[in-house]
Amino acid sequence: MATTQGTAHSQAIPQVKNIIAVASGKGGVGKSTTAVNLALALAAEGARVGILDADIYGPSQPQMLGVGQRRPDIVGEQGKQQMLPINAYGIQSISMGYLVTEDTPMLWRGPMATGALQQLLMQTRWDNLDYLVIDMPPGTGDIQITLAQKVPVTGAVIVTTPQDIALLDAKKGIEMFRKVNVPILGVIENMAMHTCSNCGHEEHIFGEGGGERIARDYQTELLGSLPLDLSIRADADQGKPSVAADPESAVSQKYRAIARKLVANIQQHNANQAMPTIEISDD
């Protein structure tokens, strides 16, 4: 089993080898769409994958996965009950969105939201996952800190757009994970360029090279750049993300290339964690 990173107080999740937090410093950068397509791409590469929707206030994975209003089955005896994740397109999933209706606003203060996250983490019966992708809410608040404290997070992937404002917030996200000892496994630059459907002209609407700069500044890797493509948004809205909707498309191949780079980084990280420390003394 692969080793993982965590604090002294963190508790491993049974049947989960690696936990990947997909995060952004701000909303509107396509983090949730990237998270679900990344999870599907990891599965397409042969891994056993789950996704946990940690955006307690605005869960979107049920819609993106086309699950709708299904409820997870409950197993186990009273006091030790667990939820069975819902399977969609070959990945296991759990979300607060499975437990409330689409029209229910989550009028919760921080402790209630973090309590809900802990329940999703610890009361879900995952089935032998190589990777659990956690779709984080935007920002650097209670949910992020709770995740880092409660479970051994292998590392975080930061999603950003190339524009300067998004990059500023992405840097805050990176710094937050560093403070809680969660490694940064890489940066994904979303909406990097737009190709005109009429003439084929490529245009960098939100700027150019921002993801590469932030990766260089923080000694991590740009895992890949994704286009501003109508199909990515439309596929997710229709409940069949791009990697599931058209596995052979150029967009899907980009997600799979990102997944392969991410797996290589995780394997390198776990190998480094497993290496013994040799102390040399004069005795």
Which helix (H) or strand (E) is 182 found in, with range?
none
> Which residue's structure tokens are 């936990």?
19
Per-residue model confidence as pLDDT tens digits over 131-186 = 999 999 887 778 888 888 889 999 999 999 887 777 888 888 899 999 889 999 99
Determine the Cα–Cα distance for residues 45 and 263; give it in Å rounded to an integer.
Answer: 10
pLDDT above 50 (res 126): yes
Q: Are strands 194-195 and 16-23 parallel, antiparallel or unpaired?
A: unpaired
Predicted local distance difference test score (pLDDT) of residue 9: 56
Determine the Cα–Cα distance for residues 84 and 197; give it in Å rounded to an integer.
Answer: 42
Determine the Cα–Cα distance for residues 10 and 27; give it in Å rounded to an integer.
Answer: 27
In the structure, what pLDDT confidence band is assigned to residue 108 with cuts at 50, 70 and 90?
low
Per-residue model confidence as pLDDT tens digits over 71-107 = 999 998 887 899 999 999 999 999 988 887 666 655 5
* CB contact at 8 A, 17 and 129: yes
* Tally of CB atoms within 10 A around 274: 9
Domains assigned to the chain: 16-272 (3.40.50.300)
pLDDT above 50 (res 198): yes
Predicted local distance difference test score (pLDDT) of residue 167: 80
Predicted local distance difference test score (pLDDT) of residue 1: 32
Per-residue model confidence as pLDDT tens digits over 210-258 = 788 888 888 899 999 998 888 898 999 999 999 999 999 999 999 999 9
In the structure, what pLDDT confidence band is assigned to residue 6 with cuts at 50, 70 and 90?
very low
Determine the Cα–Cα distance for residues 269 and 222; give it in Å rounded to an integer.
Answer: 16
Predicted local distance difference test score (pLDDT) of residue 238: 94
- Please indicate whether residue 108 or residue 178 has the higher confidence score (pLDDT): 178
Predicted local distance difference test score (pLDDT) of residue 264: 96
Q: Are strands 91-95 and 49-53 parallel, antiparallel or unpaired?
A: parallel
In the structure, what pLDDT confidence band is assigned to residue 62 with cuts at 50, 70 and 90?
very high
pLDDT above 60 (res 265): yes
pLDDT above 80 (res 202): no
3-class secondary-structure state, position 122: helix
Q: Where are the alpha helices (DSSP H) in the chain?
A: 31-44, 61-64, 110-122, 142-150, 164-179, 210-217, 230-237, 242-245, 250-274
